[in-house]
Structure 1
């Protein structure tokens, strides 16, 4: 008997920073009828982390990779800029400009990681949060500025102080310790920033242990991109995915 054939796929475009290494993690949130098509930005120097994320905050960096995933034959129904610092370092106005650049490049809908985090905090009703991240101080300061500009009260901010070129080597144990140690007793939720940190398997168990929602960069970005086209992300026990 001949099988019926593969499930018809809906394309989601991921515009990733050139140094992104968590492609497989993004796929774990995808249901069987969703395919992720990843295109990366042009490379920039890794020598200075703040300069790196500032370059990735340039809307013109997104034009080519957005076109690659949204034009025929791929035809992604939404484009998601998968880079947290690259979408928050210029503040709310630049985040809007990044989305506009993806729309101008052909994306039917556009999402950024940082914009997705704000949407996630909104649906959870989380206005007072603890933030954890791997960044050096100048980038961490911009993250707090971005969240504060959006009306979020950042009760605490804890980081690893790592340069961007080594963040991809962080393991689950380090990430779990960062989240646990970075919680604040008065926080409505914990935000784990940076798409290079591994988080998928940590979210649900740490939510149960700490008794509050945990929003991670990759989780929020995929959730928002799927939500934009009426698709539910997969992730057992993850609080955000109830919405």
Structure 2
């Protein structure tokens, strides 16, 4: 019998407590000989529509206890698994939160929003199509966040209706595929699918085949950032052109 040694790396992930898709996605992408560990975060009302103020509140909430809990596994990297919680505050806040998580955990740290930017930059794209379950102010804040990082959004698409915290996670991969196609534009060099609770990972390969362009999802981007920082090799369970860059 062959046993997995699990010695290569430990990845910690902070997850909004109502999120149902980030954990399965990270386990699907897990590199052999690594482990992934999760700590759920509060700081918001799961029964409210996740608007800008609610997500900003999550980003600003006290995560010191969460960091103490995830630090118990002595992770090599800690990922902050909510995109809108930091982009609603802007780039400066996002960067400082990553620094604070590093200081509080003793591990490397990447936020979902920061990892999206890093992934798009790694692909060499400066113009993107953007799709998410966000409506209204958060969508505008996401576009501004990308623009601050010299990434222009040439077309946006969304679900067209208000989705609650659980509704975002209930979008099917087929619905995500349609959202990605709606966000495509002749000038778009890549398609960004923002939201750690959206089932984008399962649709990524199909979207790339249909559009002939790379796809960057929030969860892909975080795993890519972790793998690149830790020197982990590409393996068969990571979908998308992004991972060809490892």
Q: Establish whether TM, by shorter chain, passes 0.5.
A: yes
Please list the CA deviations of residues 101-134 of structure 1 after superposition, one character each: whole Å capped at 9, or x if unmatched.
2012123211001111111111100001110010
Give the SS at the match of 1:21. Answer: coil
Paired position in structure 2 for 1:105: 104
* Alignment root-mean-square deviation, CA: 1.6
1:190/1:214 contact within 8 Å kept:
yes
TM-score by length of 2: 0.91
CA distance in 1, matches of 2:100, 2:130: 28
Q: Do residues 157 (structure 1) and 159 (structure 2) align?
A: no
For the Cα contact (< 8 Å) 1:66–1:107, is it kept in 2?
no
Q: Flag the 1:236–1:99 CA change in 2: closer, same or farther, 3 A.
A: closer
Residue 39 of structure 1: aligned partner: 39
Matched, 1:175 2:176: yes
CA contact (8 A) 1:232 1:241 kept: no
Task: Calculate the TM-score normalised by the size of structure 1.
Answer: 0.92
Structure 2 CA distance for aligned equivalents of residues 115 and 207 of structure 1: 22
Question: Mean Cα displacement is larger for which, 44-53 or 190-199?
Answer: 44-53
* Matched residue SS, 1:57: helix
- Give per-residue Cα distances to partners, 1:158-207, cap 9 Å, x unaligned: 11143342211111111111111211111010000101111223112221
Instruction: Give the drift of 1:52.
Output: 1.9
Give the Cα separation in 2 of the matches to 1:30 and 1:222.
Answer: 8
Cross-structure match for 1:81: 80
* 1:56 pairs with one of 55, 58, 67: 58
Unaligned runs of 5+ in 2: none
2:203 corresponding residue in structure 1: 202
Q: How many Å separate the matches in 2 of 1:26 and 1:98?
A: 21
- 5 Å-filtered alignment, 1:3-18, equals 3=1, 5-9=3-7, 10-18=9-17
Residues 227 and 208 (structure 1 numbering): CA distance in 2 closer, same or farther, change over 3 Å?
same
SS in structure 2 at match of 1:56 = helix
Aligned length in residues:
238
Structure 2: how far apart are the matches of 1:26 and 1:126? 24
For the residues of structure 1 that align with 2:86 and 2:223, how far apart are their CA atoms? Answer: 15
Paired position in structure 2 for 1:240 = 242
Aligned partners of 1:207, 1:87: CA distance in 2, in Å? 27
